[in-house]
Structure formats: C-alpha cells, structure tokens
Chain A
C-alpha cells in the first residue's frame, strides 16, 4: 500500500536519507529500525508530508502522495505534545476535525475510545493535570480516531507503564486485525519481535536490511545450539562435526554451547552424545533482533 522509492533528503551539511526504498504491504506491521539519528524521523516526516524529499517519490495505494492522503494517515511522533491549557475532549476533537471528521462523528468516536480505555471522566480535564502516561493515552486516541489506513507510531511504548503498554499493544493488534497498516519506528528491539511482520533497518541514512522478521532471523541463524546434560563426561570439540564454544556447570548439570560445522545437523550431535550423557535440553540459538541489530550496525560501522 505504501511504496517509498529512492528517497534522497539532503540537509545543509548532512544527507539524512540516501536512496532509501521500502515496500509496505497492506495490513502488516512494519518495523522501521535504526539507531538514533539514522534517518528514521526524516523518512517518517516525508511519509507524513511534513517535509518533501529532494528526489524520489512516495506512492500511497499507487497514487503519488498528496494532501488527500493526510486524513488516511495517523501519526504519533516520538516527541509527544498537546496544548497544555486545553481540555482533553476539546483537544482531541480539534485534532480529529483537522483530520476531516465532523464534530458529531468525532464526538461519538471520542466517547467510544475514552470508554474503551477507561478515560470517561477525562473530557474536561486539562493536559497539564494529567500524568505523562495519561497524556500518551490521549495522544494515542488522537492518532487513531480518524480511522487512518496507515498508522505511524514513533517509539509507541516509551513512557507507558507495563499495564498501559499492554493495553495499547492489544489495541494496536486489534486495529491491525481490522485492516490498519502500521509503521513502528523504534530503536528498542524487544517490542519489534512480538509485533512486527516485516522490518527495515536504517543506519547512517541508508537502508541496510529489509525483510520479514522470520526471513531475517533465518539468515542470521548460524547453527549454534545450547545443550544441557547430566553426567561426568566432558564434551570436547570434534574435528568434523562440532566445536564447543562455551562450557558451564550449573547445579550438577553441564551447559555447553556448540557450533556445528557446515552441513551437520543437531541429530548427528545428539547421536554422538546420547550414549555418553543424559541429555536434558537442546535449544537452537536464534539471534534476537537486538543481536541482529547490533551485529549489522557494528558491521556497517567498520566498513
């Protein structure tokens, strides 16, 4: 539904985005990852039409991005903000009317959402009287109220306590089920693994990784396993099957990390060990997004 094609954005002294392209499928949750200052916000600002790219184009449902799309995009910026002196209800009403909703429709939906998130009696409170987490909730409602097709959330969980983070996560999943497409921009990987279908990693203004979460994880597997066993036998590396990377003794059990040589399988290792020790557990070491992130970014950094 959203195609970003060869975007270049140049600021006075530095290039914020260097030939970045992305494809978003409808109904997916897309993770836009990257360290601080990588260019994520610049890209989001182009998609939300806050700024325009120097070259390249963005297509929304096949159409070149234009002002008609504003009402179909919801954006929660990383730097949250509301008018401090304005009443909550009025404020959300104002923001959603700016997105093109009628007063009646907006009021109806605000009431619905406020009830859903337990904010019924917040209508006439002022923003300055709310806690930061409460303000975040208000802002989330303001972002999704006009039922946008594309919802862009920049660091959506920062500032939420675990309970509220969970509530928001469920709302996101529900909206996603109803067909909304999401872009998450974050440098915190744990939220990505749970929610995202697809990720792109931006580093130093360039896209350095792009693909579905499963695919990426698969490419970063490196045939390494944890094996936990009982027995006096000390497992040593063998020349053509595996190499022991690490050995630990925990409460009478031994935990080893082994890396298999190419074309070897875990079954072969088990076959070798079963006669000698009592196997308790075997886990494949799957890299977390965090590992991949760090590995990729560091790798890039050395180039």
Chain B
C-alpha cells in the first residue's frame, strides 16, 4: 500500500508542478468568465441597439388602440394602401411593413409582415406579442375592466412572477433556463474532464512504456499497483483543478457580473418595455439583457448548488475511473500515441454519444425514458446524470445510478488490469482486439 502511495504522490506532484497545469488552471476560469462576459455584453448590447421602424398599414376597424412605440421598435401608422407601401419600401426609411387586415378579436387572422430583410425571430415574437397584448387588453376592457384596473393588474402580475421564480425554482420558465445552463456547463465539464484526464492516464502509460522504465518499475511494484497509482494520482490532479476552477470562476464571474453589467441600463430596459408590451416579453428581455451571468446568479439562489457539486464530483470520480481504466489498457497495448486511434474509437463513441444525447434529448426531456437509461448505463451516466441533476432527480434513481457506476468501474478496472499487466511488456507488435482478449485470459 505504501508503494501505491509513493506512486500516487509522484504522479500527482509531477503533474501539478508542471507549468502547463498552473497556466491552464488559472487561465481557464478567466477564459470562461471572459466568454460569458462577452456573450452577456453582446446580448445586452444587441437589444439596446436594435431599433426597427415599422410602417403599419391597417384596414382593421376592430382594434381601438394602436401599437405602442418604444426604444427598440417604432410603429408608425400610415394611410396609404399596402401596394403603394410595398413598392416604395426600399426608398422609404421604414424597415418593415406590418399589414393588419380586418379581423375579429376572437380570430385575429391574416396579419402580414413585409421587409427587404427577413425579419428575425425576436422581431417576429416582439410584434406578435405586442399585438396579442393589444387584443387581450381590448378583450378585457370589453368584459368591463377599466384602464386603471388593467394597469393595476399588470403590476400585480409582475410581482407574482418573481415570487414563483424564487419559491418553486425549476417549475417556472425562467428558472428552467437557468437549470439548462447549469446542466450544459456540468455536461461539458464532465465530458472534458473524463476525456482530458483519461487521455492523460493513457499518455502516462505510453510514456512509461516508450521510455522503457516500465520494466524497472514492475520489478519493484505489481502492475496493478502501478496502474492504480497512476489512475488515482491523475484523478487527484483533476479534482485539484476542478476545485480551483470552481473557486476561481465564482470569484471572477461575481466580480465580472458586478463590474461589466451596468445594472441601471438593465433596469431602464425593463421599465421601458413594461410600458408598451406584455409582462412576459419584458421578462424575457430582462433575462436576455442580463445574459447567462444573470442566470447563473439566479440558479445559485434557486438550485441546490452544494448538492450539484457533490454529485458532480462523485460522478467525475466514478466516470473517470470507469474510462481511465480503459485508457490505461489502451496505453499498455500500443507502442506510441499514433497507434491508439483504432482503440480510441470504441472508447470515445459511448462518451461522445452520451455527451450529444445528454445535451439535446436529456435537456429537452429530463424525466423521459432516454434520460433515465442514459443516466443508468455507466458509459453515459456520468454526463447524463449531471445534466439531469439541476432539473431534479428522484433520490432512488441517483442512488441506483451511483451504485451501477461503482460496479461498472470495478469491472473496467479489473478488465483493464488484466490487459495492462501483459500489454506493458509487449513491444513491436501491432496489437489487435483479438490479442488483447488473449492477454485478458492469460493466467499470469
């Protein structure tokens, strides 16, 4: 056991002391924070900068009120026929023409938007939202609610939404967005960690093999001790890096959030958009304006961050052990890194598949069958489970998945150690899967 500790400490220290480790550890959180800062900044700037001028051609008589202009969109009602407007659009300073035909409030049909540019989704949503609100307000008035009541209603709805978001977290729309972002980050991180550190194990094994120190080593220690020492040592490097990243990223993004985003601007947008549009639209805009940083902060308040980190670390260790054992076996079977490709494929595929499915299917339907099975099969569970986690996972599923993963890595470590002990002493032969199976069955 003492020898394993020696190996662990060498593997750990030799990596942590490397310049590349230190640079990576301190640079990555800066990069991540920087990227999110940029995304947030541009989203916010994009909203602030859009200004569309829309000519409204209305033959409609049912609508009593007009669409209201604000900073981002300007509605101008014109008294010209649609044909004339369409022809002169390129010469006019309008960006779009909105055509409101005659319709009933019950069935508002036939609204059209013309433009030389294809109108984007956000503009489309914005206009339809504005129209919907207009119609809704008119309907409410028809049923006897006064303008004063309407304004009051608006205020109270806004307050209500905020409450729900804080209290029930995952069930409310804006918090689901936060969960998705946390899920994405966790999924990507998990994938990266397993890949990066698994490959480090493989490289380490190849290094020992090509530098021929392996024979000296295994005349002192058992191959299994050497393999486990390496795997555990590198796992500790990964954990060190992960914990440093969390600490640094949180620190930096908190600073970035307070410094980079001008709170006053955000409030101004929120306030102005409330005047003329629906409560929902203004919510969306605030959220978009705050960007992912706002989401992260919101999720920190709404989600059990401690639990997520704990489970993440468990699944990182489990998933890493599961895969790194396979990587160690691959490393032992080849003479150089260029030969690893044929073996990498079958190991990479389930991980990639788990990654792709987790970030698409699982985030869309975190309680579905696909999500359930992906988070049970140990090849994909490390990624799938951390992706599901922010949406809430029943305790028994979590426990079962963890148990399966533990059994899974014990199995892969066992298989890998049997291949490893033979592989590390084989030189110059091109290894095949058949051969690896033969090694596996060797007695000793």
The answer to whether B136 has its CB under 8 Å from any CB of chain A is no
Inter-subunit contact A82/B211 (CB<8 Å): yes
Considering only residues 414-444 of chain B, those with a C-beta below 8 Å from chain A are 425, 438, 443-444
A111 CB within 8 Å of chain B: no
Q: How far is the CB of A269 from chain B (nearest CB, A)?
A: 53
Q: Judging by beta carbons under 8 Å apart, are A98 and B425 in contact?
A: no
Interface residues of B in 204-232 (CB under 8 A from A): 207-208, 211-222
Say yes or no: B3 contacts A77, CB within 8 Å. Answer: no
B38 CB within 8 Å of chain A: no
What does the 1/0 interface line of B84-98 toward A look like (CB < 8 Å)?
000000000000000
- Stretch of A45-53, A194-202, A242-250 contacting B (4+ beta carbons < 8 Å): A45-53
16 pairs from A and B in contact (CB 8 Å cutoff)? A12-B438, A50-B425, A75-B215, A81-B212, A81-B214, A81-B216, A83-B211, A86-B14, A94-B6, A95-B216, A95-B220, A97-B6, A98-B6, A98-B217, A98-B221, A142-B216
Q: State the B residues within 8 Å of A (CB).
A: 3, 6-7, 10, 14, 207-208, 211-222, 425, 438, 443-444
The one of A12, A75, A81, A82 that contacts B219, using a Cβ cutoff of 8 Å: A75
Chain A: residues with Cβ within 8 Å of the partner, total of 28
A84 to B212, CA, bound (A): 10
Complex: chain B residue closest to A49, CB-CB: B219
CB-contacts of A62-82 with B (<8 A):
67, 70, 73, 75, 77, 79-82
Query: A10-24, CB under 8 A of B: which get 1 and which 0?
Result: 001000000000000
Complex: chain A residue closest to B427, CB-CB: A79
- Give the residue among B3, B219, B425 with the most A Cβ atoms within 10 A: B219
Collect the chain A residues with CB atoms within 8 Å of residue B212's CB: 77, 79-81
Whether a CB of chain B sits under 8 angstroms from the CB of A85 is yes
A204 at the interface (CB under 8 A from B): no
Interface centre among B10, B212, B214, B215 (most CB of A within 10 A): B215
Q: CA–CA, A79 to B215, complex, Å?
A: 8
By beta carbon, the residue of chain B nearest A73 is: B219
Is B10 a contact of A51 with CB atoms below 8 Å?
no
Chain B residues within 8 Å of A85, by CB: 14
CB neighbours of A98 from chain B (8 A): 3, 6-7, 217, 220-221
**List of B residues within 8 angstroms of A12 by Cβ:** 438
The residue on B at minimum CB distance from A77 is: B215
- A143→B215 CA distance, assembly (Å): 12
CB distance from A85 to the nearest CB of B (A): 7
B7, closest chain A residue (CB): A98
In the bound assembly, the distance between CA atoms of A166 and B213 in angstroms comes to: 25
- From 156 to 212 in chain A, residues with beta carbon under 8 angstroms from any chain B beta carbon are none
Besides the contacts A50-B218, A82-B213, what 6 more A-B pairs have beta carbons closer than 8 Å? A52-B444, A77-B215, A77-B219, A98-B7, A98-B217, A99-B220
A30-60 residues with Cβ-Cβ distance < 8 A to B are: 45, 48-52, 54
Q: Contacts of B14 on A, CB cut-off 8 Å?
A: 83, 85-86
Residues from chain A with a CB closer than 8 A to the CB of B217 are 98
By the criterion CB–CB under 8 Å, are B211 and A81 in contact?
A: yes
**Cβ of A50 and Cβ of B211 under 8 Å apart?**
no
Q: Please, which residues of chain B bring their CB within 8 A of the CB of A97?
A: 6
User: Are the CB atoms of A50 and B213 closer together than 8 Å?
Assistant: no
- A54–B444 CA distance with the chains assembled, in angstroms: 8
Contact A50 B220 (CB under 8 A): no
Contact A48:B213 (CB < 8 A) given known A94-B6, A98-B3, A98-B6: no
Which of chain A's residues has its CB closest to B435's CB?
A: A12
Q: In the complex, which residues of chain B have a beta carbon less than 8 angstroms from the beta carbon of A48?
A: 219
Q: Which residue of A lies closest to B215 (CB)?
A: A77
Closest Cβ of chain A: how far from B313's Cβ, in Å?
A: 29
Q: Which residues of A contact B6 (CB under 8 A)?
A: 94, 97-98
Q: How far is the CA of A174 from the CA of B215 in the complex (A)?
A: 26
Chain A nearest Cβ from B166, distance in angstroms: 52
| Residue on A nearest B3 in the bound complex, by CB | A98
B215 neighbours in A (Cβ, 8 Å): 50, 75, 77, 79, 81
Nearest 7 A/B pairs, CB to CB: A81-B212, A81-B213, A79-B212, A77-B215, A48-B219, A98-B220, A81-B211
